[in-house]
Structure 1
Amino acid sequence: MDTERSTAGDGPAIAEQDTMALAEQRAAEGRTDDAPLGVPGRPLNRRSPYMVGLLGAFGVATTYAVVLLVSAAREVLILIGLALFLAIGLDPFVRRLGRVMSRGLAVLTVTVVMLGIVAGFLAAAIPPLVTQSTNLAHDLPSYISQLRDHSSFAGHLNEQYHIQSRVEQMISGDNGGNLVGGVLGAGQVVLGAFGSTGTVLVLTIYFLADLPRIRQLIYRMVPNSRRPRAMLIGDEMFAKVGAFVLGNLATSLIAGVGTFVWLEIFGVPYPLLLAILVALLDLVPIVGSTIGGIIVSLIALSVSVPVAIATAVFYVVFRLAEDYLLVPKIMGKAVEVPATVTFVAVLVGGAILGIVGALVAIPIAAAVRLLLQETVFPRLDRT
């Protein structure tokens, strides 16, 4: 009697052991040299109501998680995108040097040259910048007295637009803050800017060294039948980005040098400080040089009204020369975007990502235009 109960109780356990042994035997038989992990079984029925609901819920949850992740890492992603943008712009130099040396040595050479230019520029610019900034702080009371003088041109502007009260409000703050708080806030901004600049610089060097592997990874995600076509279009997009970066740096350098020479000729104060400001603002397409010209023209009012008017005319002429002579000559047809698309792209990019968005808007618009012309429009024309 007890033996029968024991045998009946052990029945499920013995059946389970037999089932696992049979599964292990089949797994050993299914392992071959061509498929060491076995051959995949039949796919699940994706049309079943359960699978449709499961995949739909998983897709919604994944999309929501990606949106939260992008929102939380927005600032870091902007720095990564900017570094990749600069790496693509510097890649033509690396490839040219790569014809006579290894890519690692070419990246090192470009990095050393780039850091040397930045260091030399800072060494030459910081002493006069400090001097001119000190002079600006010293002359600030006289500018304030000119604003209070209702008989002067600056006084009329102050009376009409309340410039002094707006400046005092910005310095004091809306919540009862003081100048010390403003200085501390400015210090935090400066430290944050230096930290972001260092991060972008390091990432640019890494991306520049690994750009061939990054390119291969991007193209590997395209189906094999369409991969050659994707390579041709992608390489053309990279070329447009590189041409824009190099051309934008060249035009900004010309804008800064032209500003410095003009201000030196007419004796406008703080020429180097304003030249650097104009060169940095000119990096932002369309609106950058205009804002820089307005600021310099207002500073030129401290010399005389005719000099300020002449300075404004100089920037109008320079803007026309930049749009119709410099940009076509330097960039050629590499970045071929209509004026309307350029303006809209800069506005949208600036609204989404600020200065960085306005900076990368034109090459992105050029890449999207190329993609539409080569893939979307021909397909629509055939339908």
Structure 2
Amino acid sequence: MTLRAVLRSWVDHYFSDEEAVILLVVLVLGFAVVIWLGKMLAPFLTALVIAFLLQGGVNALTRRRIPHFLAVMLVYLAFLGVLLAMALVLLPLIWNQLVNLVQETPRMFASGQQLLDDLQARYPQLVTPDQIQNWIGMAGREVTQLGQRALSLSLASLGNIVGLIVYLVLVPILVFFMLKDRDRLVSFAVSLLPRQRGLMTRVWQEMDAQIANYVRGKVTEIVIVGTVSFFTFAFFGLPYSALLAVLVGLSVLVPYIGAAVATVPVAAVAGFHFGVGDQFLYVLIAYGVIQALDGNVLVPVLFSEAVNLHPVSIILAVLFFGGVWGFWGIFFAIPLATLLKALVYAWPRGIQQRRQEEKAAHQDQEVVEEP
């Protein structure tokens, strides 16, 4: 069989149905809008994610016979309360600890140099002076680059204060109207789609529960892991507990890789503060217990309804979508990978199922028309 015949057979298999072509066009347009207009539509996309997250609370209240508008107001006021608490309590605390950490960097750098000198004195055959100088030079360059990036970021952020204020005003307003007028907005969006959308409906039905479970479960996981980490670090007297807890909480966004990356700053701060001793080991053991409970208890409970994906698929999805869309690409890497999996399973099956239904309907019509 020639290459032309193979390609033609593949195209006939996947694109011979009108709905398949329409679905492909909708997906291409959707990805194109997000890629090229993502920065411009960032407030809208952020509000859409938050509204999708809060819709579960609205549904839970309406199931208890609370009027829809009252349920929306209760959930929305709770959202504003959490937002204000983060802006007035959490963010200033994290900022102060970040400033203190930057100020303590020279002392930590000197302590690290002293530790390397001690290693060279104890193990002169394993650690040579040239290696120490290379390590110190590499660390110095990294610290210098980090300071330059922080300075450029702070200078660039001065010009974006107005944009940040507009962003903080627009997102809550959009969230409110998305919750209040959800049915009208969904009806309008559906009216823009073609009438023949059976294949899209099947794909969305496979994705809806997984996306809802993932978004709400991931936010819950971030809050739980971050809170437990904060109290654990504070119990051991570890400095920068809030900053490290936020880092550990956000690390769950990147499966497998995030936990390993977050271990480095936790171990570094604990080592510089306590030294390599019993207290240092206790902190690392407690951190390991948190990661073990997260991976073996919390994740199975929160994501029991999620589609099972192979670890290689998850890592590839994180690398690809994170490289394309940054933070949001990492956050939605698993749902997007699930979408691709649903497309792979639903696309040819949907076409075959529709053909079988049309064939069965045609045969039934012929039987009815027979005298």
Q: TM-score, normalised by structure 2?
A: 0.69
How far off is 1:143 after superposition? Answer: 1.9
Aligned partner of residue 117 in structure 2, secondary structure: coil
Higher RCO, 1 vs 2 (CA within 8 Å, ≥6 residues apart)? 2
CA, structure 1 residues 86+313, in 2 after alignment: closer, same or farther (shift >3 Å)? same
How far off is 1:273 after superposition? Answer: 2.1
Give the structure 2 partner of residue 166 of structure 1. Answer: 142
Aligned partner of residue 268 in structure 1, secondary structure: coil
Give the structure 2 partner of residue 15 of structure 1. Answer: none
Aligned partner of residue 98 in structure 1, secondary structure: helix
Report the Cα distance in structure 1 between the residues aligned to 2:211 and 2:31, rounded to whole angstroms: 27
Give the structure 2 partner of residue 20 of structure 1. Answer: none
Give the structure 2 partner of residue 6 of structure 1. Answer: none
Report the Cα distance in structure 2 between the residues aligned to 1:285 and 1:77, rounded to whole angstroms: 27
How far off is 1:269 after superposition? Answer: 1.0
How far off is 1:313 after superposition? Answer: 5.1
Pick from 164, 188, 210: which aligns with 1:217? 188
Cα deviation 1:201-238 (Å, max 9, x = unaligned): 433333333332333334445555655x7556535523
Pick from 262, 270, 273: which aligns with 2:232? 262
Pick from 302, 309, 319: which aligns with 1:337? 309
Whether the 8 Å CA contact 2:253–2:330 is kept in 1: the answer is no
1:1-383 maps to which residues of 2 (within 5 A)?
A: 73-99=37-63, 100-125=65-90, 128-129=93-94, 132-133=97-98, 135-149=100-114, 150-151=116-117, 159-160=134-135, 162-172=138-148, 183-185=154-156, 187-188=158-159, 196=167, 198-221=169-192, 224=195, 231=201, 233-302=203-272, 303-306=274-277, 307-308=279-280, 311-312=283-284, 314-377=286-349, 379=351
State the structure with more CA Rg.
1
Whether the 8 Å CA contact 2:314–2:337 is kept in 1: the answer is yes
Give the structure 2 partner of residue 33 of structure 1. Answer: none
Identify the range of structure 1 (277-286 vs 130-139) with the bigger mean alpha-carbon deviation. 130-139
CA-atom RMSD in angstroms: 3.9
CA, structure 1 residues 110+348, in 2 after alignment: closer, same or farther (shift >3 Å)? same
Whether the 8 Å CA contact 1:253–1:279 is kept in 2: the answer is yes
Identify the range of structure 1 (327-336 vs 75-84) with the bigger mean alpha-carbon deviation. 75-84
How far off is 1:70 after superposition? Answer: 6.7
Report the Cα distance in structure 1 between the residues aligned to 2:261 and 2:168, rounded to whole angstroms: 23
CA, structure 1 residues 126+182, in 2 after alignment: closer, same or farther (shift >3 Å)? closer
How far off is 1:105 after superposition? Answer: 2.8
How far off is 1:196 after superposition? Answer: 4.3
Cα deviation 1:25-45 (Å, max 9, x = unaligned): xxxxxxxxxxxxxxxxxxxxx
CA, structure 1 residues 300+325, in 2 after alignment: closer, same or farther (shift >3 Å)? same
Report the Cα distance in structure 1 between the residues aligned to 2:133 and 2:164, rounded to whole angstroms: 32
Report the Cα distance in structure 1 between the residues aligned to 2:162 and 2:282, rounded to whole angstroms: 37
CA, structure 1 residues 170+277, in 2 after alignment: closer, same or farther (shift >3 Å)? closer
Aligned residue identity for 1:160: W
CA, structure 1 residues 232+98, in 2 after alignment: closer, same or farther (shift >3 Å)? farther
Whether the 8 Å CA contact 1:243–1:335 is kept in 2: the answer is no
Report the Cα distance in structure 2 between the residues aligned to 1:370 and 1:293, rounded to whole angstroms: 34
Aligned residue identity for 2:66: M
Q: How many residues align?
A: 314
Whether the 8 Å CA contact 2:48–2:175 is kept in 1: the answer is yes
Report the Cα distance in structure 1 between the residues aligned to 2:35 and 2:103, rounded to whole angstroms: 44
Report the Cα distance in structure 2 between the residues aligned to 1:364 and 1:289, rounded to whole angstroms: 21
Whether the 8 Å CA contact 2:213–2:305 is kept in 1: the answer is no
Whether the 8 Å CA contact 1:89–1:243 is kept in 2: the answer is no
CA, structure 1 residues 318+377, in 2 after alignment: closer, same or farther (shift >3 Å)? farther
How far off is 1:163 after superposition? Answer: 1.0
Aligned partner of residue 301 in structure 1, secondary structure: helix
Whether the 8 Å CA contact 1:91–1:242 is kept in 2: the answer is no
Aligned residue identity for 1:264: A
- Which ranges in structure 2 are unaligned for 5 or more consecutive residues? 1-28, 121-128, 357-371
Report the Cα distance in structure 2 between the residues aligned to 1:273 and 1:313, rounded to whole angstroms: 19
How far off is 1:251 after superposition? Answer: 1.0
How far off is 1:257 after superposition? Answer: 1.8
Whether the 8 Å CA contact 2:202–2:346 is kept in 1: the answer is no
Whether the 8 Å CA contact 1:350–1:357 is kept in 2: the answer is yes
Q: TM-score, normalised by structure 1?
A: 0.67
Give the structure 2 partner of residue 30 of structure 1. Answer: none
Cα deviation 1:343-380 (Å, max 9, x = unaligned): 22111110110111111121122233234333424646
Report the Cα distance in structure 2 between the residues aligned to 1:371 and 1:89, rounded to whole angstroms: 24
